[in-house]
Structure formats: structure tokens, C-alpha cells
Amino acid sequence: MKAICSKESASIWSKTVQLPHTEPLPGAITVEAAVIGGGMAGILTAYLLKKQGIHVVVLEADRTAGGQTKNTTAKITSQHGIFYKSLLQKAGRKRARLYACANEAAINEYEKLIKEENIECHFKRLPSYLYSTDETRRTELMQEAQTAASLGIPAYFTERTGLPFQTAGAVCFERQAQFHPLEFLKPLTEKISIYEKTRVLKVKKHVIITDRGNVTAKHIIFASHYPFINIPGLFFARLHQDRSYCLGLSGTKRLDGMYYSIDKEGLSLRWSEDTLLLGGGSHRTGKNPSGREYEALKMAAKRYFPNSRIEALWSAQDCISHDGIPFIGAYSIFRPYWHVTTGFKKWGMTSSMLSAMLIRDRICGLDNPYKDLFRPQRFLLRASFKGLLADIWESTKGLAKGAFHLPLKAEGLSPDQGKIVRIGFRRYACYKDQTGRLHKISARCPHMGCQLEWNPSERSWDCPCHGSRFDSDGRLIDNPAQIQNRL
């Protein structure tokens, strides 16, 4: 199957709505609050702060909502996979209930904001289903439903899903929601100051150094998907990134719910106007040597929706914390005026609204019952330790890999193949395109030096340690790296 280059993919959201362009930062400015990152979390945070009378600006390296926001499946739900039973066991009933209540509150806040601003964005309340096709997991689903209901979520187990294939059952959460994320953001972006094409290079205390000038701010909010300042914070040791893939299909039967599978090869589904979103293929960034994710989705579409046509295809990347709970709050005890929001797992819509509410309250000195649960400096021993060790192990492997791996010679590359190769006494990340031209960049990620891996699905070089991504010529696609990969 032909690989999909990152620049060739486009979600149904970006195909149907274009947000207005804004000018870059004109020079040095001073503000009360500066938000780094113009995605859903950054825009919502700036919007809520401005409603409190705070002078706030958003700094965006590229285009507003041009990163993960435009690639979301846009499910606004508190149903975050098989999570509540595990959370209850590891974090206790009080924290588990707070997590459930916080995410339900975020759904309600979206509905409230949409009504207040009279936003036409196809917002709709509907059920969300967590399902499996494996009969051995039926009991697991029943236990998850029971746990979620005990925490105050309108949840129950059901055998009726409306899916075009047999399941072992599902956990249904009632009154969840979906919308068109760019239609939602468009009127909000017109109410706040956004500087596009303004890349942040460094942050020193209250000063943000960009390629367009300096911004001095009393409060600095990092809403850049992955926090790119390594020290303080040490988020590189507490986060990893996953990729997932999606097709937009026309010519299918309408589905009256949102669906997410707990199976290893399971599918995510939701309906949007005349298009079915079919997702799956999740893997840790830098860990897909076969590159068959889109092919698997196309096979699933042909099997379950034989009359469907592919109208769009795209991918997304998600930050995941060591305990599965987002980090929202102080960046570090040494920088209390820095605020951070990251680690949304795959549930960026509820987490973005929750982030905006928490950071608004933190800056405005308001109490929030959920602040301690999402505090970045938390460490829930039973919930955190295993994930923390796994992230440290992957980073160690990425740093050490070059010392024990014998690379190919450049002559050994086939057309449309990427590998780490040896040229002279140095190692390079090399891709030979279909014309036979060799594209050569550094084998090491400029973020922290981990060895890159070739992503054959998207013709990109991906870092398995922290998730930075580059095209075959070294142009930056995804952070935490802040610079291009050049020789």
C-alpha cells in the first residue's frame, strides 16, 4: 500500500472549515498572561481568562488549531477507555469520583458556552459506547459499567450497540457529546488576540523569547501539547506519545452513538453529518515498523461498510502521563507563575475545557475542587510507578540504541524506504524516495538525542522516546523538539 505523507493527509474538519489567518507578533509586548499554543486548550484558556478581564495573548508557531485539534475525532466524553475500575483501585474512591465529576462538568461547560455564544457547531448530546468483540472481556465491561455508575456517571452495561458487527457487550455512558471542533473555535478566535507564525524559542522566568520578539507576562501558560522546557518540570520523564489513524467514509449507515473498542485491534467510530469517522491503529510514536495502520483501517471499512468511499484520512498524536491523568497546574514548584496543561491521553476535548477552567481559577485565585487531582507534582504511587518505569525504559533504549545497532550502508536502501545508515564514520537517518534520491538528516532527535525511527505509514522520522516527528528533509512536524533536524 502507498504510504501517506503527513502533508497529504487532511481531516474532515480542516476540509470543511478554515480559521481566519492572524498576523505574527509585531515586536516586544507586555501582557498579564501569555498562552503558548493555539489549539483547543490554548484558545479556551485565553477565552476564559479574557472573560475575567485579563489581558491575554496566544502565541502559535504555525496556524491556529493546526496541530492535534484539527485531527481530533471530537468526542466530548467522560468515557476514557477501560479506566474507572483501575483508577478506583489505584487512586481511591475520592479521586476516582473527582475525575468522573470533572469530566462530566467539562461536557456541561461546552454546552453552556455554545448556548451563551450562540455557536453553530453541530453540537449534539448522544450516548458513548465502550465495547469489545471478545467474549472473554464481557465481565470486564460489566465491572467497568458498575464502577462508573457508582462514581456518579450515567452508565450501564448493554448488549445493544447499533454497530454493524457482533460485540460481547458495551458500557454505555448517556448524555455525552460531539461537535465540529473548528466550527466551535472559529467565533472564539475572533474574541481573543492570537499571533500566528510566532515560534517560542526559550522561556526565561517572565520573558518568552520568540523568533518575532519578546513577550513579558505575569503568567505564562504552556498549552503546546508537549511541554518543551525540560528543566524544571521534567515532563520528558513522565510523558510518552501515541499515534492513531482515522478514515472519513461516505456512503455508510448512520450511527446514533460514539464508539470506542477496548480490544488491541479495535475500532473507534462516530458519525458526523454525512461522514463516518473510522479510527484505530494506535501505537507508541516511533514503534510501527510494519506501517500497515491505514491498510488495516481500509480493510475494516471494506468488511463492515462495503459500499463506503474514503473521503479523508489523517492521523493524530496524543501525550499520555504515567498514571493516565492529565497534568494541569503549576509547571514546577520553582516556577509557580508558569502553568501547564498536557497528558490528555486520547481525550483532548474534555481535558481542554477542564484545563481552561482549572488554569483560569488558578490565575484568578479561585478555588477549584479538582486542582489537586490534576496537579503536575502529584505522585500516586500505585497508579504512577509502572508507567513511570516504562517511560524511563523507552527513553533509555532510545538513547542507547545507536551504540549497539549496526546500521546499513546507504547503498542497501530500496526505493521508498527509510533506515538508519552509515556513511563514513557517521550515522544518518536516510530515506530513498521513489525516484532514487537520498534524503539525509541526523539520526538523533534534536530534543534529547534519542535515535529516530522510520514511520513507513506517513514517511516521517519519529522519536520513540518523547514523540518528536520530522519529515524526510528534517522539517519539524510534532514537538517537543523546537528546531528542525539538520545536519
Give 121-135 pLDDT, tens digit per residue.
Answer: 999 999 999 999 999
Question: What cell numbers appear for 270 in the block?
Answer: 462516530
Please answer whether residues 83 and 150 qualify as being in contact, where contact means their C-beta atoms are separated by less than 8 angstroms.
no
How far apart (Å, rounded) are the C-alpha atoms in residues 60 and 440? 29
User: Rounded CA gap, 273 and 268, in Å?
Assistant: 17
Phi/psi of residue 357, nearest 5 degrees:
-65, -45
Alpha carbons within 13 A on the beta-carbon side of 411: 1
Q: Please, how many CA atoms are within 13 Å of residue 43, restricted to the half-sphere of its CB?
A: 25
Rg, C-alpha atoms of the chain: 22
Q: What dihedral angle (degrees, nearest 10) is formed by the CA atoms of 25, 64, 468, 419?
A: -110
Cα–Cα–Cα angle for 128, 77, 367, rounded to 5 degrees: 150
Low-confidence ranges of the chain (pLDDT < 70): 1-8, 380-411
pLDDT of residue 407: 57
Write a three-state SS string for the chain.
CCCCCHHHCECHHHHHCCCCCCCCCCCCEEEEEEEECCCHHHHHHHHHHHHCCCCEEEECCCCCCCCCHHHCCCEECCCCCCCHHHHHHHHCHHHHHHHHHHHHHHHHHHHHHHHHHCCCCCCEEEEEEEEECCHHHHHHHHHHHHHHHHCCCCEEEECCCCCCCCCCEEEEEEEEEECCHHHHHHHHHCCCEEECCCCEEEEECCEEEEECEEEEEEEEEECCCCCCCCCCCCHHHCEEEEEEEEEEEECCCCCCCEEEECCCCCCEEEEECCEEEEEEEEEECCCCCCCCHHHHHHHHHHHHCCCCEEEEEEEEEEEEECCCCCEEEEEECCEEEEEEEECCCCCHHHHHHHHHHHHHHHHHCCCCCCHHHHCCCCCCHHHHHHHHHHHHHHHHHHHHHHHHCCCEEHHHCCCCEEEEEEECCEEEEEEECCCCCEEEEECECCCCCCECEEECCCCEEECCCCCCEEECCCCEEECCCCCCCCC
Intervals of CATH 3.50.50.60 along the chain: 12-72+183-237+324-383
Alpha-carbon distance of 483 to 378, in angstroms, equals 30
| Dihedrals phi, psi of 350, to nearest 5 degrees | -65, -40
Domain with CATH 2.102.10.10 in the chain: 417-478
What pLDDT was estimated at residue 383? 46
pLDDT of 1: 43
Determine contact, residues 173/155, Cβ cutoff 8 Å. yes
The second-level CATH assignment, the architecture, of 12-72+183-237+324-383 is 3-Layer(bba) Sandwich (3.50)
Class of domain 119-177+241-318: alpha beta
CB-CB contact of 415 with 434 (8 Å):
yes
62's CB contacts (< 8 A; 6+ apart) are 196, 197
Give start-end residues of each CATH 3.30.9.10 domain in the chain.
119-177+241-318
341 and 327 in contact (C-beta within 8 Å)?
yes
By CB neighbour count within 10 A (0-12 exposed, 13-18 middle, 19+ buried), where does 53 fall?
exposed
pLDDT score recorded for residue 394: 58
Task: Give the count of alpha carbons within 13 A of 160, CB side only.
Answer: 2
- Decide yes or no: CATH 2.102.10.10 for domain 417-478: yes
